[in-house]
A and B are shown apart, each in its own frame.
Chain A
Amino acid sequence: MYPASFAYHRATSVSHALELLATYGDDAKVLAGGHSLLPVMKLRFAAPAHLIDLGRVPGMSGITESGGVVTIGAMARHADVASSAVVRAKAPLLAEVAGHIGDPMIRNMGTIGGSLAHADPAADLPAAMLALGASVVLQGKGGSRTVGADQFFVDTFQTALGAGELLVAVQVPVSSAACAYAKHPDPASGYAIAGVAIQLGASGGRVALTGLAPRPMRLAAVEAALAAGAGAAAADRAADGVEFIEDARGSAAYKANLARVFTQRALTAALARK
């Protein structure tokens, strides 16, 4: 209940936050919605000496669309993303997935940037990012870079975010309504035991899996089958080339089955919306 002592820094701007990050380096953690970081601090699994709070930084939670790209500020709350008219019209998969996260309290506090930077392997958003071909904007003191979701998620709780960098925005290509997210939630945590996000294009589509593997991943075999015109049958390939590990949530065979079943359910729904 009581985290170890830490110093609290309220950033007033992105550049101020970057200054603080440069000053405190590895001793600092960035605080966004706090729904992943604060619990691990209370359990004393994490004990950062400094917290840099982005909560009062102006202009970090806007949602806009221009030139075929929807840009979402890192501090946009899940509830805002799920209910945003722009996101619902221009990137409906992201709105659907954001609406599946946790419960209303979590969606009202948790942020898109915080969730992506945390990179929980069972989180919902990474699957949407991969299926949408979305990118994150990483801001450092020397400038910013844009990293595609395919490169961003490295491993369990590991991303391409560099030391001294801040995830400031998410960029999503305008996408069609031919999409779906199918999720088998853990009854305790609400996280995805299996989650499959699919965004269909003019031909083929992008298919991403969360929950079942150490990191969210695209299902290459399914995408290849889709591109080859397999349609709903592409779901049969969902376990191909993925290594599933037995744990408390089930055997490797069960997980492979879940990958196929939830790919099939998402694919059926997405094809129906095409």
Chain B
Amino acid sequence: MIGASVKRKEDGRFLTGRGKYTDDITLPGQLHAAFVRSPYAHAKIRAVDASAARAMPGVRAVFTGADLKAGGVNPIPVGWLHAGINVAEHHAMAVDAARYVGEAVAVVLADSAATARDAAEAVAVDYEELAAVVSAVDALRAGAPQVHGNAAGNVAFTWQLGDAAGTDAAIKGAKTVVRQHLGNQRLIPNAIEPRACLASFDAANDELTLYVTSQNPHVHRLIMGAFVLGIPEQRFRVVAPDVGGGFGSKIFIYPEEVVACWASKQVGAPVKWTATRSEAFLSDSHGRDHETEVEMAFDAAGKIVGLRVHTVANMGAHFTLFAPAVPTYLYGTLLSGQYDIPVIHVSVTAAYTNTVPVDAYRGAGRPEATYVLERTLDIAAGTLGVDPAELRRRNFIAPTKFPYQTAVALQYDSGNYAPALDKALGMVGYAQLRAEQAAARAKGRYIGIGLSSYIEACGLAPSHVVGSLGAQAGLYESGAVRVHPTGKVTVLTGSHSHGQGHETTFAQIVAHELGCALDDVEVVHGDTAKIPFGMGSYGSRSGAVGGSALFMSIQKVKEKGRRIAAHQLEAAVEDVDFKDGTYFVKGAPGKQKGFGEIALAAYLAHNIPGDMEPGLDSTSFFNPSNFVYPFGTHIAVVEVDPATGHVALTKYVAVDDFGNVINPMIVDGQLHGGIAQGVAQALWEGGVYDGNGQLLTGSMMTYALPKAHFLPMVESDRTVTPSPINPLGVKGAGEAGTIASTAATANAVLDALAPFGITHLDMPLTPAKIWAAIQTARGGH
């Protein structure tokens, strides 16, 4: 069952429109919330006059940021703290000043969503517009407008890793140094289901229930209950029902959820809010937004001898939950990639700006690191006159060197990079393709081939490691197996599926181990009232961490069943084995018991060992000893039309090593979606603000998400190096496509443009940008 591409159990309800999402839940007497949002990127709030709104029929209440603060609602905390970090208070609604366009200033509760929206427009806010700053580089300049009073110069934090002096010496002594400025533009997540919440306070029992679009309901409960709202956890239930995509954006504790919870208690009625797509653009945490200076130093043999990276990261107006970890420990630690680099130094300056907060977005730091390495390597290949595939090969960590300690803290447990590269080169027909490229160039056609040999650290995370690095919680996972008297199984997992297919893959693990049918296993997730605890899903951790916790519980259940079987079969425990759902006495054909019989016996308790507790269930927590390290090589092939600058992605080959694979079809789907997202960053997507902090790409009419017909069919294959750090031998697959594909695609476009002498352009590589660069190269404008 493990390794089988079984169809997804959950797709029946999704494909027939019977999924149950937060907005599908309706509670008696519920009110609808509409938020008044700042139209200014930076403005002092002088006064809020809600009298007209309050007077409208159907309006039940209006609250402001000051009301929340006075009502005892604490600021939303940050889940990852560095030494010297400047944490500015992040109130759910602006109290004294609004710091980005879209920041919530007040909320209206009304009988209908339409009335609430009408009334929100009637709330008069007296703003005093202040100067705003949008780019992180500008924010760090002397004299820039100050976003927060306690972050002088808008510095949110500075951070560094590696050997500064050693790197400096290596660069000074190198034969060749490649230097490049690399922008990594802002991205705006667009899950198909916008964020939503429904909070219901039950005064009779002093209990709060929150239905919310969350990737991690227990984390929501912990942070909102203990830190923001002051509600004891046993009186606070958080349910994340069917959730339609997250990509990281639904990890964080958002203002609207805090407001709905607090307001429900104030008005004595359930409070519901569902974001419009426009609100999603203005209030979901954005991703990426780096400006980087990179120096990569080589010896005469084309070996990398040192790497120095300085990055300015835009944090937006506030830290959301994971933000400080993203441009640091999820980025700087990955800057060795697949390469044997003796010294590395990375420094990061993070800045507050008057923009939407920036936090984890699919890949979270690792796409940025991969882009820095892989783009720079391609530039270096041009400088050194070495084929890009060959340059990578020369610098791969040799398979004999594992476990490999990088110069940036991580220890790779396993890896073998050349076979994945070779396989990808073979699939794409690399030598032939280079010949075709040369022939096409002679005819004025510009084909480009781009490689990306990536590694990621995922399966977040070894708790002791992340704790020492600033995480305010451990990143283990829980998995409970509850065997029913009939032998059917309920699985309770602390990880959360919002598209990943846990109901299928986790059931496959159980069915495989217990020898039962897939339909005999029910996977429950997303409800703090049912699941013991959990850290949720992000960082490609569900299989590696959540699946492993589940695996541990299955083994405990199997072992208890074995003892019951041995008792009933009158055999020594060590003589009893288990296979395909049957306990049997080794070497004694016919002496056997089915798993269902044993489960029933465990609950009837008429005939079990005398010292045994009845029942058959187990809860386990898996705390990984290390990250897992998926890797691979992706190759993109493009053709650039020099007349228009248009890029056609004509071929895409992916070879990945995800370790053991539970459901190849689901993993392929994850890979395809990730590739689409990463290609989109290279070619189409980009969140753009004007100088006043107005978001110019605030809708799907202006923000170019990828469409199916923009993309070729992905040709994929795998190498299999099982991870040694978890019992399933699995790694993560959710982010790999995104991590690899941006650099591969950008490299392909720049490779196509090489005949023009163009070495680099920042993403997105739009037709207008490419055409202008060609004109400049030709000595035009």
Contact = CB atoms under 8 A, between A and B. Distances in A.
A186 B644 CA distance: 13
Given A1-B276, A184-B646, A248-B696, A254 B118 contact: no
A44 B684 CA distance: 27
A156 interface: no
A263 to B, nearest CB: 12
Contacts of A257: 643-644, 771
A188 B704 contact: yes
A43 interface: yes
B688 A248 contact: yes
A249 B768 CA distance: 7
Contacts of A43: 278
Interface in A177-207: 184, 186-189
Interface string A1-25: 1101100000000000000000000
Contacts, number: 57
Contacts of B704: 186-188
Contacts of B705: 188
Interface residues of B, number: 31
Contacts of B771: 250, 254, 257
Given A248-B688, A261-B643, A44 B121 contact: yes
B646 A253 contact: no
Contacts of B117: 1-2
Given A4-B118, A249-B768, A188 B700 contact: yes
A2 B113 contact: yes
Contacts of B643: 257, 261
B688 A254 contact: no
A100 to B, nearest CB: 13
B114 interface: yes
B775 interface: yes
A188 B771 CA distance: 19
B781 interface: yes
Contacts of A250: 767-768, 771-772
A254 B768 contact: yes
Interface string B94-131: 00000000000000000001100110010000000000
Interface in B660-715: 683-684, 688, 696, 700-705, 707, 710
A254 B703 contact: no
Interface in B561-590: none
A232 to B, nearest CB: 14
Contact of A253 (B121, B274, B700, B775): B775
| Residue from A1, A4, A44, A257 with most neighbouring chain B CB atoms (10 Å) | A1
A181 B646 CA distance: 18
Interface in B639-657: 643-646
A251 B768 contact: yes
B113 A261 contact: no
Given A44-B121, A261-B643, A188 B768 contact: no
Nearest to A188: B704
Contacts of A4: 118
A258 B646 CA distance: 11
Contacts of B701: 188-189
A250 B768 CA distance: 5
Nearest to A261: B643
A4 B114 CA distance: 8
Nearest to A187: B704
B113 A254 contact: no
Interface in A220-274: 248-251, 253-254, 257-258, 261
Contact of A2 (B114, B277, B645, B646): B114
Nearest to B278: A43
Nearest to B275: A1
Nearest to B698: A43
Interface of B: 113-114, 117-118, 121, 274, 276-278, 643-646, 683-684, 688, 696, 700-705, 707, 710, 767-768, 771-772, 775, 781
15 contacts: A1-B276, A1-B277, A2-B114, A2-B117, A5-B118, A184-B767, A187-B683, A187-B704, A187-B707, A189-B702, A248-B696, A249-B768, A250-B771, A257-B644, A258-B644
In the complex, the 9 A-B pairs of residues with the closest C-beta atoms, listed nearest first:
A250-B768, A188-B704, A187-B704, A2-B114, A189-B701, A1-B276, A2-B117, A261-B643, A187-B684
Given A186-B704, A187-B707, A257-B643, 11 more contacts: A44-B121, A184-B644, A187-B683, A187-B710, A188-B684, A188-B702, A188-B703, A249-B768, A250-B768, A257-B771, A258-B644
